[in-house]
Amino acid sequence: MSYRILASVALAAALGTAAIAQTTTTTTTVTTEQSGKIKTYIMKEKPSSMKITDTVSVGTALPSTVELRALPSDVGVTQYRYSVVNEKTVLVDPTSRKIVQIIE
């Protein structure tokens, strides 16, 4: 009987860990070339940086006061918008307003 309980607990723990790993390993792939194009575009356009009180990190949702801008089509990143917040250029999912990548 205790073997079944231990096996059930171990299985539940394994499944729970897998579920957590699936929800926390979302990554955005922007190629080195696209990242370079984004940097060049930002340097050319010189958008002003918005100050926010939240920490600028992947997964942070930007407030509605932060303007999200489209990148030109030749950059090749059409599914995201960008903004410059706290002096950092960020790619943002326009639906959720969450930062998906910080362009360094």
The pLDDT tens digits for 52-80 are 999 999 999 999 999 999 999 999 999 99
Burial class from Cβ neighbours inside 10 Å (0-12, 13-18, 19+) for residue 73 reads: exposed
pLDDT beyond 90 at 81: yes
Q: Is the pLDDT of residue 91 over 90?
A: yes
Confirm if 81 and 51 have CB atoms less than 8 A apart. no
Which range, of 3-12, 42-51, 80-89, averages the lowest pLDDT? 3-12
Length of the chain, in residues = 104
Residue pair 56/88 in contact (Cβ under 8 Å)? The answer is: yes
Give, for 89, the enclosing helix (H) or strand (E): strand 88-92
DSSP 50: B
pLDDT at residue 18 greater than cutoff 60:
no
pTM, 2 dp:
0.71
Nearest Cα residue to 80 out of 48, 33, 34: 34
Helices (H), 46-100: none
Share of the chain above pLDDT 90, in %: 67
pLDDT tier at 20 (50, 70, 90 boundaries)?
Answer: very low
Rounded mean pLDDT, 39-64: 95
Q: What percent of the chain has pLDDT over 70?
A: 73
Which residues lie closer than 8 Å to 87 by C-beta, 6 or more apart? Answer: 49
β pairing state of 88-92 and 99-103? antiparallel
